[in-house]
């Protein structure tokens, strides 16, 4: 990863309640980590965890979702079926 790559901080808006939540996207050599205010993962201290991680691993794009802060192992979602080459053509 380029040593000059920096995290991006932004705010997303709940379209139902207008509540704002802070998000930080951090670049790494193999992917990006996403920290959402108030959410975390099993191994990190509060305020520092990344509940989502998008990575390039073993030739495929996948997403690790830490959907339960009390469970160490993430849900791993392969994105291989979302590749544009898999789009079915109209016949």
Could you tell me the two tokens for 10? 């932004």
Could you tell me the two tokens for 36? 């959402």
Rounded to 5 degrees, what angle do the CA atoms 45, 39, 83 make? 115
For 53-77, the pLDDT digits (tens) are 999 999 999 999 999 999 999 999 9
Q: What is the mean pLDDT of residues 17-28?
A: 97
Rounded to 5 degrees, what angle do the CA atoms 14, 17, 22 make? 40
Is residue 26 over pLDDT 60? yes
Q: What is the pTM of this model?
A: 0.86
Domain residue extents for the chain: 8-83
């Amino acid at each position: 990863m380029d040593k000059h790559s920096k995290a991006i901080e932004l705010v997303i808006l709940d379209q139902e309640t207008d509540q704002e939540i802070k998000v930080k996207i951090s670049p790494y050599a193999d992917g990006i980590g996403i920290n959402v205010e108030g959410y975390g993962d099993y191994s990190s201290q509060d305020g520092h965890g990344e509940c989502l991680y998008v990575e390039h691993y073993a030739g495929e794009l996948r997403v690790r979702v830490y959907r339960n802060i009390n469970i160490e192992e993430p849900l791993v979602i392969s994105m291989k079926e979302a590749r544009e080459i898999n789009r079915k053509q109209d016949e």
